[in-house]
Amino acid sequence: MKKAENPKSDTLKSTKMANQKIEGPQIEGLYTAMITPFDAQDKVDEKGLRMLIMRQLTARVSGIMVLGTTGEAPTLENYERDEIIKSAIDEAQGKIPVMVGCGTYCTKTTIDHAKQAQKYGASSLLIVVPYYNRPTQEGIYEHFKAISSEVSIPICIYNIASRTGKNLETDTLERLAQLPHIVSVKDSSGSLSQLTDVLERIAFKKRFFSLLSGDDAVTFPLLALGGHGVISVLSNLVPRAVKKLIDTAQEDLVRARAIHYSLKPLVSATFIETNPIPIKSMMQIAGLM
């Protein structure tokens, strides 16, 4: 693979990109949080992963994200991480951005994962608020500050208190948005009040900064409020339908609302049990795994 063979070139390109004048959000639209398919021997199904990525390309999604919660990243071995990142970037062929999940509750390990993803040619990084340790807001700030100083590609922060045990407060995010490379937040707080605060205090004031939904059920309300897109689980199954929701919301909220309600049963089914169990079962039923 060209990108994996020339990490110096990748770093140079990333540095140039970071120094370019930013006209608007770098991360927006529909990013699919890819599942990780496995074969009957519990090995990563590289051929299956490539097929699923090609399906996303055909649907013209804005980007894909690998090694997130939906991709079962916390349970993967390092060699499996390598395989997934390389396969995803190779299959995407530069046609769409590839975001890579790198977050852990250890700052050093997260930095190592981030550098690995950058070396292989990732377009951006998804980094979750440290889980289990439940740091203070100042601790969260210092965690992301340390990471942002070690990479040169965009970072999307992932706020999901239901899994981390700690909510990222808007005051803290406002500080983090001042740091290099932090350009987006994926919010799964479930609070429309918090989403509105983030839009008013940060996203509407910083043209480069984007707010993405981390919950398919909240995508339409967030778009109506002025949000920038979603990192979607459901789009593994129906990428064209979710993209139609995103695109339509830019022009006609009434039509977008109808699409939202038409997708509601699938969204509900996607989260009847812990993610990614339902979405993988649904894709198997649909013959996609």
Residues 64-89 have pLDDT tens digits of: 999 999 999 999 999 999 999 999 99
Does residue 158 carry a catalytic annotation?
yes
Tell me which long-range contacts 252-258 makes (C-beta under 8 A, separation of at least 24).
253/224, 256/220, 256/223, 256/224, 257/220
pLDDT at 5 over 80: no
Average pLDDT of the chain, as a whole number = 92
pLDDT at 1 over 70: no
Q: How many CB atoms lie within 10 A of CB 79?
A: 9
pLDDT at 273 over 70: yes
| Phi and psi at residue 92, to the nearest 5° | -65, -30
Of 158, 243, 244, 280, the catalytic one is: 158
How many angstroms separate the CA atoms of 274 and 36, rounded? 15
Tens of pLDDT, residue by residue over 91-125, are: 999 999 999 999 999 999 999 999 999 999 999 99
Does residue 206 carry a catalytic annotation?
no
How many angstroms separate the CA atoms of 252 and 245, rounded? 10
pLDDT at 280 over 50: yes
127 token code pair: 């980094």
Of 31, 141, 186, 243, the catalytic one is: 186
Q: What is the pLDDT of residue 25?
A: 81
Q: Where are the domains of the chain?
A: 27-285
How many angstroms separate the CA atoms of 226 and 203, rounded? 9
228 vs 3 pLDDT, higher one = 228
Tens of pLDDT, residue by residue over 16-64, are: 434 444 467 889 999 999 999 999 999 999 999 999 999 999 999 999 9
CATH fold of 27-285, please? TIM Barrel (3.20.20)
Q: What is the pLDDT of residue 23?
A: 63
| Phi and psi at residue 75, to the nearest 5° | -100, 5
pLDDT at 272 over 90: yes
Per-residue pLDDT averaged across 136-158, rounded?
98
Q: How many CB atoms lie within 10 A of CB 68?
A: 28
